[in-house]
Homo-oligomer: A and B are copies of this chain.
Amino acid sequence: MAGPTTSTATATTTAGAKGRVLLAYSGGLDTSCILAWLIEQGYEVMAYMANIGQEEDFEAARVKALGIGATKVFIEDLRAEFVEDLVWPCTQANLLYEGVYLLGTSIARPVIARKQIEIARREGCDYVSHGCTGKGNDQVRFELGYYALHPGIKVIAPWRDPAFFERFPGRQALLAYAAERGIPVAQTAAKPWSTDENLYHISFEAGILENPDTTPPKDMWKLTVDPEDAPNTPDRITIHFQNGKPVRVENAADGTSETDPLALFLYLNAMGRKHGVGRIDIVENRFIGIKSRGCYETPGGTILRAAHVDLEGLTLDREVRRLKDGLTQKLAEIVYNGFWFSAEREFLMAGVEHSQRAVNGAVKIKLYKGNVIIEGRSSPTSLYDEKIASMDEAGGFNPSDSEGFIKIQAIRLKAYVAQQQQIAKHK
């Protein structure tokens, strides 16, 4: 395999002799062991934690990393840029992978990788490292981000390095190593699935979920209440968009009005959580060619997408909408596969942005036990013409025109019928 990973086979030398690594650190068992192991291999290690809205005791993690031997710890609040730079453009594009998945993990990676590379450059790191497995999508997403932003960077992926994964074949080996190295381990029992969380969503996979016919247990879900336990009374909110981006959320009943992007999004999350909105359970196709089963909760994102799609119905030209919908299926693949920092993503986004000039207005939404119900929409830049749409008045529309329209459309069909008869004879 060459490069850094194989050379790690040769053991402990002078501290940091092999160079400086910036490790994406979570505070959990895996990356704590990786941190210790990298130091043991002769690297100087700095730890980097991105706050993208996950539930985490960042300060405890800082202490832990320093305790293990990190020379520096960087904790970065990326929540606002995550919302503005990633969530908003994906909302404009209505991104959805394989018809169901809102890409909550995929779109967190670029914002994490970008800051990691920024710090690595600033701190003169030779390497970046992460704790992703060798079978998943995240290794790809992180590393394609790293390479695109810093083509010369070297990557250490311990879970793909036999020197690491053969030494730590399972959780027990990691626990033993942690004990040996004095790494504190949370006393809570490990859950029979793994999760990844940020302010946009949480994912559940592996463990008992690996059988795609197993119904996820009720206590697995975390970011939303069970629709069966949600309030019997709906809430009604209105989302205002400007150029396809949400600019205000209102709840007339309680006087809420949020305009700050992060606050606005967190309010949608709170509403979605309360009403059990945004749970899915799918078998999806990983970039790596494997099918995997995942469960996801995306409360605010689900509401936001429904509202944006609806407003495009009112404001986007029919043909633009079709072209855009075709492109964004492709864009979802690109983002899922980890190509955020790519020529093709930029190319497709150029079209998306152009289309969004028209997407202005407000969408009225009722939230009730898992349902996002559109109750109306309006726009200052609507393409809807009540007069021409009306079945009751002519509105400048001459019904006779339709006759010519239909007859012209039929020409091709009639020719095809005649051809089919010729084909039948010709056989």
Contacts and interface: CB of A to CB of B under 8 A. Distances in A.
A211 B384 CA distance: 9
Nearest to A374: B281
B413 A339 contact: yes
A188 to B, nearest CB: 19
Interface stretch (A72-80, A157-165, A177-185): A157-165
A147 interface: yes
A402 B135 contact: yes
A94 B329 CA distance: 15
Interface in A203-218: 205-207, 210-215
Nearest to A157: B403
A195 interface: no
Contact of A165 (B353, B384, B399): B399
Given A2-B400, A281-B374, A409-B289, A368 B423 contact: no
Contacts of A2: 398, 400
A291 B290 CA distance: 28
A122 interface: no
Interface string A386-412: 101111100001111111111111111
B98 A321 contact: yes
B383 A282 contact: no
A382 B419 contact: yes
B409 A140 contact: yes
A12 interface: no
Interface string A1-28: 1100100000000000000000000000
A270 interface: no
Contacts of A136: 391
Contacts of A288: 402, 405, 408, 411
A256 interface: no
A5 B399 CA distance: 12
Nearest to A147: B410
A150 to B, nearest CB: 9
A119 interface: no
A378 B291 CA distance: 13
Query: What is the total number of copies of this protein in its complex?
Result: 4
Contacts of A402: 134-135, 139-140, 160, 288, 404, 408
A283 interface: yes
Given A213-B364, A354-B347, A418-B151, A313 B157 contact: no
A347 B351 contact: yes
Interface in A310-326: 310, 313-315, 317-326
Nearest to A389: B292
Nearest to A357: B423
B313 A282 contact: yes
Contact of A403 (B5, B165, B389, B416): B5
Contacts of A232: 228
A414 interface: yes
A187 interface: no
Contacts of A422: 380-382
Given A135-B402, A206-B390, A391-B135, A385 B426 contact: no
B291 A314 contact: yes
Given A320-B347, A401-B407, A416-B383, A313 B147 contact: no
